[in-house]
Structure 1
Amino acid sequence: MQAALQAAGQGWHVFPLRPGSKRPALHGEQSCPRTGPCVNGHLKWEQRATTDPDRIRAAWSQAPFNVGIACGPSGLVVIDLDVPKNKSKGSSDAPDGATTFKALCERAGHAVPTTYRTRTASGGRHLYFTAPPGLHLTNTAGTIAELVDTRAWGGYVVAAGSITPTGTYESLSGLQTAVLPAWLRTILQPTPKASQAPATAVLGRSNRYADVALANETRAVASAPVGEREGTLLRAARALGRFVAWGDLPRHLVEQALQEAGQAAGLTAAECRSTLRSALNWSIAHNQTRRETA
């Protein structure tokens, strides 16, 4: 209860998780009684999360629930730095999320941001950031780097003070959260939908759209300022990867153009190759079907 009240005191919306678990303790839609908060229809955990101390005391007086924080309603973006799943079995040579995130920050020309952080039960880290007003981000998995996920709208994190069979979630700093850095925001903002590439276009017209997109993205990368170069390159590769998936652009042409643009902006060849490889692989995998647009 104290952990839930402390989180709510920060303006973070909380809801109960099953004792000793990371799963929500709230009823599902099929078993919804359609009473109380659900009288007008079933409300999921994100909708029922609250900062009301009276509701929190009433809920947590029933059982030693763990605490979930609904990131979206709380105005939070939480970066989840995970550990390799086989690390507990003695294989420690694989880098963990904290290591890959630190390397990403260094390539972007920044130190690891100072903000509220917790230690997870598995030994990972959660970095809490305040989302800028008007920014609506959703969850990501591996978009930033290997073993680096994010939780925002549609996602929740387990709060410090919660206890699971594998360990306790612990606070590692003061509760003050930093605003999500602009360079991270650039990486996390979703790639705009390809309204300029209709599925009904003939091949020649489709290729012209792709050529224009390639020229625009290459120019954006080459002119990106220090601190935004890595994020701009990543977003450009994700944007152009769909044209590779659809057969409008050959992958080697995209890689060469963005590699040259990234190096012209000041990134090293190795930094460009690493970012391009992961971003293009992700985009191609997620764009196997050409999207229908108006």
Structure 2
Amino acid sequence: MSNWQNALDNALEAAARGFAVFPLSRNKVPAIPSPHDKGHRCGGLQECGAFGHGVGDASTDPDTIRAGFDQAPHAAGYGIACGAGRVPLVGVDLDRKNGVDGCAHLNRLAAEHGFTIPRTVTVCTPSGGFHLWFTGPTGMHIPNSVGRLAPGIDVRGTRGYLVGPGSAGKSGAYTIHPGITEPTVYPIPEQLLQLLLPPPAPKFRQPVRRAVHGGSRVLDGLVRVVVTAPEGTRNDRLFWAAAKAWAHVRDGHLAAGDVEAALVTAATGAGLGEGEAKRTIASAQKGVHA
């Protein structure tokens, strides 16, 4: 059986269990190139009808999955979407290489914070590490992270994905742990979940001190636009608020340092990644000064 057929068969089996999937290459990246020009924003397959959005193509519909694989003849694996659907998956990726042991660090966190790691679905990775699968609360934003929790521990949450078992990577295969005889995805321990979540959104009750000419009230209002943005609109709201704020900086009503600090804090508190927030704010600044 070819890697392509094996990946498709395993992807369909995962979808039958409620996990949304999409094709991956041997490099563990999405196998279908984007149909859009660079910089184009699209919510995914359901929005534009074309494949090529990575995790945005993930589906549990067999016909959609087959159509995606038909457009990815070199696919050798499949990704499983995290943080979405009727089975909101949270992945904990434990690396064991280069002198770093993510398993040991997770055991240390469990001892320090008083939780037990259940014998949940565990996927063995080619490098000798493991992917632990957990279910998370429906509708909760869980940020993706690399090494933030501890060295060798990566987290796959909202808009993230895990390489599914049965996939073939450049370094080897991804397989279900042989010691797990009855694979069950257990809920993530509450103490571990709290460690993964971002800090609460800040309450901007005090005006920004360095702003002048009443600019603090303006910035407070723009910050509220960001922190109250519904999921799916946060990046657009941030861009709009940043463009307005940079216009006030240009007019001398706000200080540039205040604008960036306040909007980055608001955006990360609302669930956006810090890097993504900074890029959006910088993009809005370029548009104002163009």
Specify the TM-score bucket, using the shorter chain as the normaliser.
0.5 to 0.7
Q: Which moved more, 1:103-112 or 1:126-135?
A: 103-112
Q: 1:24 aligns with which of 14, 30, 44?
A: 30
Q: Structure 1, residues 49-88: CA drift from partner, whole Å, max 9, x if none?
A: 111112223333563521111112241110010123x3xx
The Cα offsets for residues 180-232 of structure 1, whole Å up to 9 and x where unpaired, read as 11101111111023324757137xxxxxxxxxxxxxxxxxxxxxxxxxxxxxx
Letter matched to residue 151 of structure 2: E
In the alignment, what sits opposite 1:106?
Answer: 111
User: Is the contact between residue 91 and residue 157 of structure 2 (CA under 8 Å) also seen in structure 1?
Assistant: yes
Cα 1:43/1:175, change in 2 over 3 Å: same
8 Å CA contact retained: 1:46, 1:73: no
Q: Is the 8 A contact 2:80 2:161 kept in 1?
A: yes
Describe the SS at the equivalent of 2:149: strand
2-structure distance, mates of 1:3, 1:198 = 54
Aligned positions of 1:140-289 closer than 5 A: 140-172=145-177, 173=180, 174-196=182-204, 198=206, 200-201=208-209
Aligned to 1:7: 14
Q: Give the gaps of 5 or more residues in structure 1.
A: 87-93, 203-288
Structure 2 alignment gaps of length 5 or more: 1-7, 211-259, 267-290
> Residue 80 and residue 197 in structure 1: after superposition, are their counterparts in 2 closer, same or farther (change >3 A)?
farther
Q: Letter of the aligned partner of 1:158 in structure 2? A: V
Residue 96 of structure 1 deviates from its aligned partner by 0.7
RMSD over aligned CA atoms reads: 2.8
**Equivalent-residue separation in structure 2 for 1:24 and 1:30 (angstroms):** 17
Are the counterparts in 2 of residues 199 and 290 from structure 1 also a CA contact under 8 Å?
no
**By how many angstroms is 1:107 displaced?**
1.7
Name the aligned partner's letter for residue 183 of structure 2. L
CA distance in structure 1 between the partners assigned to 2:51 and 2:74 by the alignment: 24
Could you tell me how far 1:38 is from its partner in structure 2? 6.0
Q: Contact (CA 8 Å) 1:198, 1:291: kept in 2 or not? A: no
Q: What residue is the counterpart of 2:127 in the other structure?
A: 122
Cα distance in 2 between the residues matched to 1:41 and 1:165: 27
Are the structure 2 counterparts of residues 38 and 109 from structure 1 closer, same or farther at C-alpha, using a change threshold of 3 Å? closer
Aligned to 2:60: 51
TM-score computed with the length of structure 1 as normaliser: 0.59
Q: How many angstroms apart in 1 are the aligned matches of 2:74 and 2:261?
A: 49
Residue identity in the other structure for 2:89: L
Counterpart of 2:164, as a letter, is A
CA displacement at 1:150 relative to structure 2:
0.4
After TM superposition, the score normalised by the length of structure 2 is 0.60
